[in-house]
Structure 1
């Protein structure tokens, strides 16, 4: 409280104390990680456990009024996606689009072929579990293609389901180095989501460190990033892309480097945020 510096909040979950700071002359800024109302609504929709489904629905309703009220209190709200940028600007007029920080610096230069299709994620999250179920159903009927699923949070039901399918392997992630090794040996990544909450971090990780990336409509709303991916609007289209991609050589290193390193570097985003916060 003694240091009259700007305060940067990370996510709406941290913002309960803003009234104490606002009245003492602090300038407040927010990195708006999600539209929390839509995020929890999506979790509720994907969740199979009825108790968790109800809890997520209540969270969604609680955030609905809160976020519209509190977002107006900030000098600037830094939004991670175009969808959220447009939402925030529609009622508080203080949004700035600063894409997600992802921690990657350079696009890996990789050969034309990988060894398998790759799915990774936190399988304690209902959206990822639903995406994996859909992916497993696809590969059960494509026995000629190998799928590697990487996660440190697979429950016994998932382990049992995968153990009975010859062309699907479940492996742990454990370390960043191991994850990068899995990316480098993959021919194509399967990224699916049933929550429309902006660009997912896992997309950047796949684009920087692997070959082809097959996505559905909820992985990103950024058209430049979509152009670097193979897009399927439903599971039939995803299936066709899997079959087509297996035959293709990957030649995207140069173009991907040009787009990502020019427009999506973490350094450039940090400098833009600092320029806005310390404009005076």
Structure 2
């Protein structure tokens, strides 16, 4: 693809404001491609975030489509996350030229069976192996009806992901997801391309911070479970200051977070406030209970925070393990927290981060690779 080439990007959501990992990756992808001289026609499904003028700074055109929510977005043969994002207006607009199409997420794969796109250059970038992701959501969900929904969605996604893998080139965010698509779905063309992010350099401060931090979208059952596990199993008896921060926490989580005087919760922090918390923490502690995708919140902590503690699931399939302290049990996490809480974060750790993150997560390098795939 020569400089100035035009591509379509179809996004499952409006990729601004940058308040969760999926849109952070998409917005960073748009910025990185724009900096490489690519002309972008952006298509977004809108369901509450509204039109965002900042997107016009990076895109030649921006189009919005209403997501079909509730029963209008339901059908028996497609996952809800796909069916609710089917739009004739979008398909008609995409069919008016022959520019390559980058689909952000399996969510945007409704054009799979449309004959107009049979010979079109289309690449699907995965956020996760959604079949696995929804199966894990079902396991962690407390509501019976939501568990049934997530289980059925996982079943339908398995069929959709298998069809996609046989039809289109696929890019995964982790080597583990690449292996899964090759082995389980027999993908005909599956490559690993690291996640895009807005962090241009390691800004971790040397010295000692004053608390431990877990952050994430707390409305996601998996993240709520991780936060509650840390509060009740790790920090209940470990009298070290611990802060939970993130979007839309439940009243249950807020109640648990405030049961001890050394633990608290910051609900819906502004981006600057969250970055301030990450930078001032002595330890960012980010276990994961989901075995797919790459955790952008961990990358954020590695670029901007001090010590990081995770479990193996959080780093599996990524090159990030050497930059983290790994513990699988509450007892092991307590022991590592005690070891690190007064240990200054130093020059050597920062040098190691700079080298490894530059090697794998340089946005300009990965943008050029993405452009080559779209050519």
| SS state at 1:103 partner | coil
What's the CA shift for 1:19? 2.7
Match for residue 83 of structure 1 among 147, 163, 176: 176
Q: Please say if residues 81 and 97 of structure 1, whose CA atoms lie closer than 8 Å, have aligned partners that are also in contact.
A: yes
Aligned to 1:205: 300
| SS state at 1:164 partner | coil
Equivalence map 1:83-122=2 (5 Å): 83-90=176-183, 91-122=186-217
| Larger RCO (alpha carbons 8 Å, 6+ apart) | 1
What's the CA shift for 1:22? 5.4
What's the CA shift for 1:275? 1.1
1:191 to 2:286 alignment: yes
**1:217, 1:197 → 2: CA distance?**
12
Structure 2, gaps ≥5 residues long: 1-94
Match for residue 227 of structure 1 among 322, 327, 334: 322
Match for residue 139 of structure 1 among 206, 213, 235: 235
Give the TM-score of the pair, scaled to structure 1: 0.94
Q: How many residues align?
A: 276
**1:77, 1:109 → 2: CA distance?**
34
Match for residue 130 of structure 1 among 190, 210, 225: 225
Q: Please say if residues 117 and 190 of structure 1, whose CA atoms lie closer than 8 Å, have aligned partners that are also in contact.
A: yes
Aligned to 1:164: 259
Q: Please say if residues 198 and 219 of structure 1, whose CA atoms lie closer than 8 Å, have aligned partners that are also in contact.
A: no
Between 129-138 and 221-230, report the one with greater CA deviation. Answer: 221-230
Equivalence map 1:1-280=2 (5 Å): 1-20=95-114, 23=117, 25-74=119-168, 76-90=169-183, 91-137=186-232, 138-143=234-239, 145-222=240-317, 224-251=319-346, 252-278=349-375
Q: Please say if residues 28 and 73 of structure 1, whose CA atoms lie closer than 8 Å, have aligned partners that are also in contact.
A: no
Give the TM-score of the pair, scaled to structure 2: 0.71
**2:337, 2:350 → 1: CA distance?**
20
Q: Please say if residues 176 and 317 of structure 2, whose CA atoms lie closer than 8 Å, have aligned partners that are also in contact.
A: no
**Deviations 1:207-250 (CA, angstroms, capped at 9, x unpaired):** 00100110012212146310000001222211211111113221
| SS state at 2:146 partner | helix
**Deviations 1:42-79 (CA, angstroms, capped at 9, x unpaired):** 001011111111111111111112211222211x2111
**2:195, 2:111 → 1: CA distance?**
25
| SS state at 1:233 partner | coil
Where in structure 1 do 4 or more consecutive aligned residues deviate above 6 Å? Answer: none
What's the CA shift for 1:109? 4.0
**Deviations 1:175-217 (CA, angstroms, capped at 9, x unpaired):** 2211111111000011011110132111100000100110012
**1:245, 1:94 → 2: CA distance?**
43
